[in-house]
Amino acid sequence: MAVYRRWSIAAVALLAATTLVACGSDDGGGSGSGDPNAAPATAGGPMGRFPGAKLVLSRWAGDPWTSGQKTAAGEWGTATGGTLDLDAVPYENLHDKQALTLTGAGGYDIIYVHPSWFGEFAKAGYLAPIDQYLADANRNPSGFSADSYLPNVLAQGKYDGKQYCLPDFVSTTVLAYRKDVFEANGIAEPKTLDDVAAAAAQLNGKDGLAGMSIPGKRGGAVADIMGSLITAQGNWWYDDQAKSTLDKAAAAKAVDFYVKVAKTAPSGVLNFHVDEAATAAAQGKAAMIISTTPSLQALEDPAKSTTAGKWGYLPLAFTAGKPAGELIYWNWCIAEKSTNKDAAYSFLQWYTNGPQQAKVAVAAATAGATKDFYTNAEVAAKLPFLSAMNDALTTSNPQPSLAAWPKAQDQIELAVQEAIEGKKTPDQAADAMGQAVADALG
């Protein structure tokens, strides 16, 4: 039985609108000598005053996100009197670095947690619940509460009935295609993934282009795309009781598509994460790309792209007119061992609100999680993928956040890789995925 959610980000919003040591001055409860209830120093600024508080934030490294957050951290510090340092490490090392630090004496105050290990961290007690902060009118700007967030997105930061995190980085996987290349070769805009596979085969090798650029490296993106592909068939990995619901035929069809387009990808596709896939497309090496929307910011960045302005964006659909996607997001969480919880919440509330998210949205190709983000017409006009993303998320499943999921995800991605290499047929890969999901879920 499918567990997908039918919802539209814009529709929900419009309806609502019609190193690693933190030498904090707070005690374990987070009260400290500051004043978390102090009104913002300037309109739209962060709540609270935290003179002398020193916080450390853990996140993955990559611009424009890291540099944008450094700027935000400096603004927060100026407004509140605290300091916030970033410990940014490569994505592939982030989980292990965070787990090692949180298991030990601590040292992080704010943690950027991927859905695939959110359940693991929440179950282990690494994260602090924030329900009391969201519910306290004194800790939030006037009119701001849990209701300020898109409910389906905010819910992904809840575990065992408690809210642990605030979301941002809302995205999905979509197709980007070179409009000029399609027109020059007399190919119509693809309506289905069969059309996409056919176009990739037809364009592969034309004028030095690969037909498709797509992630092939085990690191999360392959599973994200697979999640969108099975959701587009009305299927999902598991149900609301965490029991496997994966349909072998749907998984095999998704793998078959992946293999077909990967055969038209640039050399080295198995080493492509989202950044490498996007760089290849941006530099004119591929006629199409399927990847996460944040990675697609490279396509329209003149500093990175020789093809800016030439791209069209479409949701993924096996059946014409029935797009789908995986809801991708990240969670901003407060470490349970932090002695700066008040200050940490001040930053997270301020950083995840609509105006702050709008500052990085255009450059980062991401969307915010608060309803007011989607009423910002200027931002919407500058995000060419937003319409495709919103169409995709009309029928979507959120990235898995079960504590046992990381192991299953790795095996799912290994099965895709082996199918691309010809070591497994799509049916065999589907069987391996089914077994991995069943084993992980027990």
Is residue 24 over pLDDT 80?
A: no
- Cα separation of 335 and 83, whole Å? 17
Residue 287: pLDDT band with limits 50, 70, 90: very high
Q: Does residue 49 sit in helix, strand or coil? A: strand
What is the reported pLDDT for 21?
Answer: 32
| Closest CA relative to residue 165, chosen from 202, 196, 121 | 121
3-class secondary structure per residue, 245-275 = CCCHHHHHHHHHHHHHHHCCCCCCHHHCCHH
Domains contained in the chain, CATH given: 5-170+328-381 (3.40.190.10), 173-327+399-441 (3.40.190.10)
Residue range 97-101: mean pLDDT, rounded = 96
Helix runs in 285-353, H state only: 341-351
Percent of the chain topping pLDDT 90: 76
Would you give the DSSP letter of residue 39?
A: P
End-to-end CA distance of the chain: 18
- Cα separation of 399 and 224, whole Å? 7
What is the reported pLDDT for 404?
Answer: 85
Question: Poorest-confidence range of 100-109, 252-261, 345-354, 425-434?
Answer: 100-109
Strands 325-334 and 110-113: antiparallel
| Structure tokens that stand for 271 in this block | 């080493």
Residue 33: pLDDT band with limits 50, 70, 90: low
Residue 29: pLDDT band with limits 50, 70, 90: very low
Average pLDDT, the chain: 90
Is residue 12 over pLDDT 70?
A: no
For residue 430, how far is the Cα from the chain centroid? 25
